[in-house]
Structure 1
């Protein structure tokens, strides 16, 4: 983001946001597709030879998905709804990797009928369910085992997924039972991959390096028994900075992440897969909201806007920081809490921040909300969902 003539602009082509509120009705998520393309190309270049499957859960907007499809991305999905959205946006079943811990019989049957490229299995009962369903449908399921390395990556506990007390993945001690199951369903299951995902907002990589080393050993042991095993999915989770703009440091972190990945895995001579979400789209998005009231109390000043935790829940759920910028910048500033209209004390976007002076009717943008913003929105208090605009 950048101010030009005191107007907030978004993306590498510096597109002004103020014209978008000319006929304002309710909060607006705006996504800059040039920013999406720039980030995708940077990651694709760093992770040479890796197939990138975009994490649809982070932003299922059709315009964003169509842009990523045009750039060569696949789709990482976690529900039948996301499969349908991906197909509607031009992805083929062979572009789709299906993850998630709670796949129903109906969802799995539909995925098998479609011929989804790969199903990432999260438990032994799920593997058995797939074996039975594929046999009944006379299909050969292509599965990867999501294995849990029990590694901590120092992120928020709600978005850590690689520890043994998380619901995700399977402990390495489960491998013998998984092998037995795979052999008993050899007519209906092909083991094609090993999958890993440690969590989100990873900014330090010692844990990731250790996880790759642990699972590489398991991969080689499994490959000796299953010659169909030719894919290693190292997940997503590369973090960004929400509290500041430092794209240069993010680029250097990407290079470090890529270096560790390729040094560990390139000699496997297999298809490498990644599931990026946040790194690709977070910076591309902003939530535009209008100031309704400036409320002063003896303790503090509140800027009350018409968007709330129902539109962007990350600050309430994860104690996440998002920069807040006025669409039209002025000179003076004041210290405020920026809050929404929802009937919960946790309905806030920021507390005790210095904000350029705004008044009733002005607009502000909640930055870096292109990932896990609209996709996690709700209609709590029967508030309408925001609009979405791609520019």
Structure 2
């Protein structure tokens, strides 16, 4: 972002945000497609010969999906709804990896009818269910085992997924039982991959490197049992900075991540897959919101805006701190709580935040809201959902 003539502009082509508020009715998510293309190209270049499956849960906006499909991405999905959205926007079944811990019989049946590329299996009961359904349908399901290496990557506990007390994946001690199940459904299940995902917002890689080494040994052992095993899915989770914009530093982190991944896995001589979301989309989106009131009490000054936790829940849920900037540059600053209209004390975007002094009617941009913003929004309090605009 950058101020030009005292107005906030977004992205590599410096697009004016204030112009989007001319007929403002309610909060607006704005996504910069040029930025998304730029980030996808950077990741593709760093992760050479890795097939990228964009994690749709981060942002399933149709224009965003079409942009990524045109750039060469596949789709990582976690529901039948996401499968349908992917197909509606140009992805083929051969582009889709199906993840998620709670796949229903109906969802599995529909996925098998479509012959999607790969189902990432999260539990032994799920593996048995897929085997039974595939057998009844006369199908052979291409599956990958999501294995849990019990590694801590030092992130917020709500977005950590690689520890033994998480609901995601399967402990390595379960591998013998998984082998038995795979062999008992040999005509209906084809083991094509091993999958890993440690969590989100990963900015240092000591734990990640250890996890790769652990799973590499398991992969080699499994390949001796199943010659069909040819894919290693190392997941996503690469983080971004929310407290500042430092794209050069983030690209350096991407380079380090890629070097660790490719050097650790090169001896496997297999197909590599990744499932990024936030790194591609986070900085590409902003949430525009209008100041309704500036309310002073004996303790605080509240800036009350028309967007809330129902539109962007990350500050309330994850204690996330998004940069918040006025669309018109201002010289005076103050310390404020920036809060929304929802009837919950947890409805805030920032507390005791030093930002530019604003007045009723001014517009603010909540930055870095392109991932896990609109996709997690709700109509709580029967508030309307935000608009979405791609530029």
TM-score by length of 1: 1.00
Q: Which residue matches 1:164?
A: 164
1:167-189, Cα deviation, whole Å (9 max, x unpaired): 00000000000000000101011
Q: Which residue matches 2:386?
A: 386
Q: Which residue matches 2:297?
A: 297
Q: Which residue matches 2:116?
A: 116
Q: Which residue matches 1:140?
A: 140
Q: CA deviation at 1:268?
A: 1.1
Q: How does 1:152-231 map to 2 (within 5 A)?
A: 152-231=152-231
CA distance in 1, matches of 2:82, 2:374: 14
Q: Which residue matches 1:13?
A: 13
Matched, 1:342 2:333: no
Q: CA deviation at 1:358?
A: 1.0
CA distance in 2, matches of 1:83, 1:14: 34
CA distance in 2, matches of 1:175, 1:267: 22
Q: Which residue matches 1:84?
A: 84
Q: Which residue matches 1:48?
A: 48
Q: CA deviation at 1:248?
A: 1.0
Residue aligned with 1:283, SS: helix
1:213-259, Cα deviation, whole Å (9 max, x unpaired): 00000000000010000000000000000001111111110000000
Residue aligned with 2:291, SS: strand
CA distance in 2, matches of 1:110, 1:315: 36
1:33-59, Cα deviation, whole Å (9 max, x unpaired): 000001000000000000000000000
Structure 1 stretches lacking a partner, 5+ long:
none
Q: CA deviation at 1:269?
A: 1.2
CA distance in 1, matches of 2:27, 2:228: 49
Q: CA deviation at 1:81?
A: 0.3
1:141-172, Cα deviation, whole Å (9 max, x unpaired): 00000000000000000000000000000000
1:14-40, Cα deviation, whole Å (9 max, x unpaired): 000001000000000000000000100
CA distance in 2, matches of 1:6, 1:196: 46
CA distance in 2, matches of 1:306, 1:170: 43
**Deviation >3 Å, runs of 4+:** none
CA distance in 1, matches of 2:90, 2:136: 29
CA distance in 2, matches of 1:357, 1:173: 57
Q: Which residue matches 2:23?
A: 23
Residue aligned with 1:282, SS: helix
Structure 2 stretches lacking a partner, 5+ long:
none
TM-score by length of 2: 1.00
- Tell me the number of residue pairs that the alignment of Structure 1 and Structure 2 aligns: 391
Residue aligned with 1:294, SS: strand
Q: Which residue matches 1:319?
A: 319
